[in-house]
Amino acid sequence: MEGALTAVCVLLALTVRWAVSLYPYSGASKPPIFGDYEAQRHWQEVTLNLPVHQWYFNTSENDLLYWGLDYSPLTAYHSLLCGYVAHMINPDWVSLTSSRGYESLQHKVFMRATVLFADLIVYIPAVILFCSHLQESAHRRMMLLLCILLYPGLILIDYGHFQYNSVSLGLTLWGVIALSRGWDALGSLAFCFALNYKQMELYHSLPFFCYLLGKGFKKGIIGSGFLFLLKIGATVIGTFALCWMPFLADAEQIFQVLQRLFPVDRGLFEDKVANVWCSLSILFKIKSVLSADSQLKLSFACTLLSVLPTCVKLTKNPSIRGFKLSMVICSLSFFLFSFQVHEKSILLVSLPVCFLLGDIPLMSTWFLLTSTFSLLPLLLKDGLIMAYIAMMLAFLLVTTTTLSFHKKTSEEALKLKPFCVSVRRYMSWFTVPGSLLQMLLYLSLLVMAALTVASGVMSPPPTLPDLLPVLISAVSCAHFLMFLLYFNIVHLWDRTIEQGKKKVS
C-alpha cells in the first residue's frame, strides 16, 4: 500500500513539474544575451566542441562574456553529456558559435526533459528514501513526501526559470541520508560530488565538516577517531582529485577555474536579493561607500560570527538532529551575510528546512512559502507569475490539510520548550503566545499576497521603478532574520546527545 501511495505522490509531482515546464523560461526570445536557459545550452555547445583545457578560458571560440562557464567541473561534465545527446538529435542545437540563442519547440522539450531526467535520477529517489526512513506513521511519511516534492521554489526555478539545482541538492540529500545511517565516508563522497557540481554547496560544508570532526573527537582523536578522520580526509581528497583530474596537470588551469568559480570582482550582491546587504542599501549605499576589499572583509566577518555558535555546538555535540538544524543556520547565514549572493541561493536553505517539516511544521512551512515569495521578482521577469500563484496556493493547501501546520503553535511543537524553561528561571511569566504567532503568520501571508497582486497588476511610479522588487526583498529579508534567530535558539537549546541513529530521525 505504501509503495502505491509513493508512486501516486511521485506521479503527481512529475505532472506538476511538467506543467510548469510549459511556461516560458529565463531569457526566452530576449536577444542578445538571453538568459539561464541559453547559458545551459551554451555550456553544452562549449564542452562538446572545445577541448577541456579551453572550457574556462576566454578564446575566440569561447567568449566568457557570453555566458562563460562558471560552475564546478561536474556541471561541465553534465553539460558535455547533454551536449552529446543533443548532437545526436539535432547537431544545430549545439553547433559552435552558430547555435547561439537557438530556440525551437523541439529544443525546449529536450532541455526540459534533461531537467526531468536529472530529477528522476538524483533528487526524487533521495527524497523517497529520506521519507521512507522517517520515524513516522506510513500515512504521515507519504504526506511529508508529497509536501517536499511539491515545494514551489525548486520547481519554479528548475522547470520554469531553468536550472539543474535538483542535481546538487539531491547529491547533498544523499550525503545527509548516508550520514544519518552511519555511512560517513559515503556521505562525504556524495557531498563532495554536490560541491563539485555547484560551488554554492559551500553553504552546507561547515555542518558536514563540524559533524564529522565532532564524531572524530568523540571516538578519541589519538585512537580510532584519528583513523576515522583519516578515512574521511582520504575520501574527500580522492573525490576532488577525481572530479578535477583533467585540470590538475596545469596550475594555470586550476587557478583559472577557481577564478571563474569565485568572481569576487562582481561586488557584494547583484539584482534585488533578499539578504542583509541589499536591504541595508535602501538606507545606506554600501557598495558606493565601501571598497570591494572592505565589502569582502565585512561580509566574511558577519558570516563567520553568524555561523560560529551553531558550528561550535555541532562539533561538541554531533547529533543528526543538530546537523540538520546547523545546515539551516549555516546556509541561511551565508545567504544573508556572504559575498556575491544570488536570489536563487535561497534554495540551499530550503533543502534542510524540508528535512524539518515533520518536526517543526509551522516554522518550516512558513519559511518555504517565504523563500518562494523572495523569488517573485525573478519569476516575474520570466513570465511565471501564474505558475507561481498556482504553486504557492497548491503548496499552502497541501501543507494545511496534511500537516495542519498553522495549528502547531505550542512550545513543544515549536521545539522551544527547553529555551522557555531556561528563560522562566529568571522570568516566571515568560511564555510563547501561540495566538500571537498565528496572527503573525496570517499577517505575513497577507503581506505576501498583497505584494504579489501589486506586482502583477500595478505599475511602479516613474521615480521608483524598483519599488516593488525592493519591498519584496526587504520583507523577505526581515522574515529570514527572524528564522535565523529562531533556528539558532532551537539548536543552541537542543538537548539531543546521540551521535547518530541507524534511521533518519
For residue 71, give the DSSP letter: S
For the chain, the average pLDDT equals 93
Rounded Cα distance between 273 and 301, Å, is: 20
Report the pLDDT value the prediction gives residue 501, as an integer from 0 to 100: 42
Residue 39 cell numbers, joined: 547559458
State the alpha helices, DSSP H only, in 136-164.
138-149, 152-155
Could you tell me which of 181, 184, 278, 232 has the C-alpha nearest to residue 475? Answer: 278
135 versus 116: the higher-pLDDT residue is 116
- Quick one: CA torsion of 476, 205, 144, 493, rounded to 10 degrees? -80
Q: How large is the angle between the packed helices 124-132 and 2-21, nearest 10 degrees?
A: 150
Asked if the model's pLDDT at residue 458 lies above 60, the reply is yes
Spatial contact of 121 and 311, defined as CB atoms under 8 Å apart: no
Candidates 350, 13, 20, 1; CA nearest to 162 is: 20
Q: What is the pLDDT of residue 500?
A: 40
Q: In one letter, which amino acid is 352? A: P
Which residues, including other chains, have CB under 8 Å from residue 220's CB and lie 6 or more apart?
Answer: 226
DSSP 62: B
Which SS3 state, helix, strand or coil, does residue 262 take?
Answer: coil
Instruction: Please tell me the total number of residues recorded for the chain in this structure.
Output: 505
pLDDT tens sequence across 27-67: 999 999 999 999 999 999 999 999 999 999 999 999 999 99
Residue 151 has pLDDT above 90, yes or no: yes
Q: How far, in Å, are 49, 58, 226, 288, 333 from residue 99 at the CA level?
A: 12, 18, 53, 39, 40
Task: Say whether pLDDT at 355 is over 50.
Answer: yes
> Which pLDDT score, from 0 to 100, does residue 50 have?
97
199-208, 270-279, 348-357: which range is least confident on average?
270-279
Please report which confidence band the pLDDT of residue 496 belongs to, taking 50, 70 and 90 as the band edges.
low
Cell triple for residue 329?
543556520
Distance CA 297, CA 382 (A): 34
d(CA 179, CA 497): 16
Q: What is the Cα–Cα distance from 301 to 297, expressed in whole angstroms?
A: 6
The x, y and z cell numbers of residue 242, run together, are 577525481
Q: Is 443 exposed, middle or buried (0-12, 13-18, 19+ CB in 10 A)?
A: exposed
CA dihedral 447, 21, 345, 363 (to 10 degrees): 40
Q: What is the pLDDT of residue 497?
A: 53
Q: What is the C-alpha separation between 330 and 349, in angstroms, rounded?
A: 8
pLDDT in the model for residue 290: 85
What pLDDT was estimated at residue 322? 96
Q: By mean pLDDT, which of 119-123, 219-223, 245-249 is the weakest? A: 219-223
Tens digits of residue pLDDT in 154-183: 999 999 999 999 999 999 999 999 999 999
